[in-house]
Amino acid sequence: MNSREVLGVILAGGAGQRLYPLTKEQAKPAVVFGGTYRLIDFTLSNAVNSNIRHIFILSQYKSDSLHRHIHSGWNLFASELDEFITILPPQQRINDQWYSGTASAVRQNLYSINGFRPKYVLILSADHVYKMDYAKMLDYHKKMGAEITVGAIEVRPEDTHRFGILQVDADQRITDFVEKPKNLTACRNGGCPVASMGIYLFNIDALNDVLARDIKEELENDFGKDIIPSALRTRRIHAYQFIDENKKRAKYWRDVGTIDSYWEANMDLVAVDPEFNLYDSDWPIRTYHPQYPPAKTVFAGGKDGRRVGLVLDSIISNGCIISGGRVQNSVLSFGVRVNSYADISQSILMEGVRVGRSAKIRRAIIGKNVIIPPGALIGYDWAEDRKRFTVSENGVVVVPEETIIRPASLAAELGRSSGLSHVVSAPFKKREIASILPS
């Protein structure tokens, strides 16, 4: 691939409402995945590994943590060679509106895109987990004489309501495009339904043409819902079947747009033979690593033989200390501390989480800097968890970042002192609890 002929445009402005409360304080592409990565790292790594050296990132929603991550972890391009990763917030060059969809975001940045003078524009989503060589897609695009190529993957019929579904002919030319059909019971292709991956490769003239329509009113705001279906009548559009660089039996591409799909994708990483391989030196996943010391476990039995720092089938990031607790089938981000007799299973703990003695956490996502008091139970009683936290459709408990959970003993004390018969063990401010937590 001639890196100068392709401009990568990464859509990173989504609010990620279905991932709330993980997106309460940050954009969806900035959400941590696999302990050490951000979701955007997978798309950026694919681009770099595909020799794409000119990238615009279109950001919008609560983007400060995303911007810091890009500046800290992705300053690897050579500006003297005209390589760049440039963040473009809404420019309002067309009107005074913010981005209102994927096509809207690209349309509002056509000034910058055309200023680079690329032959091809590769439009990517910042919140999918997969490995893909975009150079192979470009070769296919050229070979087929396509004006627009859509990345495609087979999906299960029961999942079609989540994706844009393609109808293709024998030459993989797209003849129909239905965005998130609700009643698709069979596939007209005779096999599994073929879904759009949200990856679009355009000839620059085709991109300018399809986005020029309704430019003042911005009536067409989304590529999948609006642009691609309307362009089928006038443009040669092909589907490119996903070629996986993950080197596993089954193709791996995950849209982690919900709490349950996000949790499941993280759990994919901790199996003995993980479905998604983070350890392939031939296809490195890059990110920013803050300066933490190595992880460690301490205590090997104690007087009662139960005080053992133990980690099984888990990812433990730098700075973690497993101090006499047990961690199994879990993903721990930087600087997590698990104190004695605590038990963590099938859970995701974000940076700086503190787990008190004898606390138990199961099937949960614990946000950044959350303090779990001694003896707390999370994930063992959905009815109680729903009173305090978010519980997903499949029973994953989410504790938002910076939450501190009031211990039951303190709740009772507050109830007595206030004359109330019941005080809910709910999140409250750090200063109210800092003095009662063990060091």
Instruction: Could you list the residues known to form a binding site for alpha-D-glucose 1-phosphate, using ranges.
Output: 99, 164, 179-180, 196
Distances (CA, A) of 357 to 138, 319, 360, 429: 54, 19, 9, 20
The DSSP call for residue 244 is: B
* CA separation for the pair 395, 393 (Å, rounded): 6
Q: Write out the binding residues.
A: 99, 164, 179-180, 196
**SS3 category, 370:** coil
- Pairing mode, if any, of strands 310-312 and 326-328? parallel
Q: Are 19 and 31 in contact (CB under 8 A)?
A: yes
* CA separation for the pair 23, 21 (Å, rounded): 5
Residue 5's region, left for phi above 0, alpha for psi from -120 to 50, else beta, is alpha
* CA separation for the pair 44, 167 (Å, rounded): 29
- Label residues 320-339 b or e (16+ Cβ within 10 Å = b): bbbbbbbbbbbbbbbbbbbb
The H or E element spanning position 266 is helix 259-267
* CA separation for the pair 6, 268 (Å, rounded): 33
Residue 77: which of 286, 280, 281, 278 has the closest Cα?
286
Distances (CA, A) of 172 to 18, 47, 239, 321: 32, 24, 5, 52
* CA separation for the pair 45, 364 (Å, rounded): 28
For 12, other C-beta atoms within 10 Å of its C-beta total: 30
